[in-house]
């Protein structure tokens, strides 16, 4: 999923501020929000990491992919049902798609309404 969405981020969307990767608590929160199908809140969490200076690829790999791994790990230990994981991953996929569309946009634009 993430490799398919890999792209070069326009210069105006890059930050020179070095930012630490998300904490385990932040990743767990994104996973939980994704399972609740709360696209608006999930997008808000991801956008906040981008605004804080975390590069686009780091947001995908260290935040979104990490949340997907949390869902998979919890399913593997019988903490979640297959349906829970499927719903959570679908939410994360919608967020990645939205980010990709925004990153390819030639100019910044205000946030749009969530996809749900």
CATH class of 23-104: mainly alpha
pLDDT at 91 exceeding the cut of 90: yes
> Which residue in the block uniquely carries the two structure tokens 């939410």?
91
- What confidence score (pLDDT) does residue 103 get? 77
> Which residue in the block uniquely carries the two structure tokens 């990767």?
21
Q: What is the pLDDT of residues 15-59, one digit of tens each?
A: 455 578 899 999 999 999 999 999 999 999 999 999 999 999 999
In angstroms, the Cα distances linking 36 to 30, 65, 88 are 10, 17, 7
Domain spans of the chain, in order of start: 23-104
Q: What is the pLDDT of residues 50-84, one digit of tens each?
A: 999 999 999 999 999 999 999 999 999 999 999 99
């Amino acid at each position: 999923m993430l490799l398919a969405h890999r792209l070069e981020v326009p210069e105006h969307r890059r930050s020179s501020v070095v930012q630490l990767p998300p904490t385990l608590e932040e990743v767990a929160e994104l996973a939980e929000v994704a399972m609740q199908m709360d696209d608006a809140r999930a997008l808000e969490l991801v956008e906040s990491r981008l605004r804080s200076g975390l590069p686009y690829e780091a947001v995908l790999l260290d935040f979104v992919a990490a949340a997907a791994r949390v869902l998979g790990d919890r399913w593997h230990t019988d903490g979640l049902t297959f349906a829970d994981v499927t719903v959570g991953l679908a939410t994360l996929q919608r967020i990645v798609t939205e980010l990709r569309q925004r990153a390819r946009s030639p100019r910044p634009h205000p946030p749009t309404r969530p996809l749900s």
